[in-house]
């Protein structure tokens, strides 16, 4: 799965998630927890998920704090991704 595919899948899952966000089930059926955590970090840096969801410690270990929720920009990005898939 490419990074673009992983990004699209995560955004789509979050768009259709419970309003309270997604927990560890977000990591299900993926290339691995580290790949998903890295993508979540990228999404947070891009302002697509709410701040505070992902942190990096001094040893460069990524920790994910649940629930994960889209920001308003993330909702728009997810709708664009979904439109590309459907269209």
CB neighbour list of residue 77: distance below 8 Å, 6 or more residues apart? 11, 48
pLDDT of residue 25: 79
Whether the pLDDT of residue 77 is over 90: the answer is: yes
Whether the pLDDT of residue 86 is over 80: the answer is: no
pLDDT, tens digit (0-9, with 9 covering 90-100), for 15-58: 998 888 888 877 765 667 888 889 999 999 999 999 999 999 99
- 60-70 average pLDDT score: 92
Contact 39, 28 (CB under 8 A): no
Residue 55 CA to residue 40 CA, distance in Å, equals 10
pLDDT of residue 21: 87
In the chain, the number of structural domains is 1
pLDDT of residue 39: 93
Contact 70, 15 (CB under 8 A): yes
Domain that holds residue 60: 3-86
């Amino acid at each position: 799965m490419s990074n673009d595919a992983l990004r699209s899948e995560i955004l789509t899952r979050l768009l259709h998630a419970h309003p309270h966000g997604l927990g560890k089930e977000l990591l299900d059926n993926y290339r691995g927890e580290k790949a998903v955590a890295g993508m979540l970090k990228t999404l947070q840096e891009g302002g697509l998920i709410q701040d505070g969801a992902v942190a990096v410690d001094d040893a460069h270990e990524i920790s994910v704090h649940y629930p994960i929720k889209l920001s308003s920009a993330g909702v728009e990005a997810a709708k664009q991704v979904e439109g590309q898939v459907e269209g």
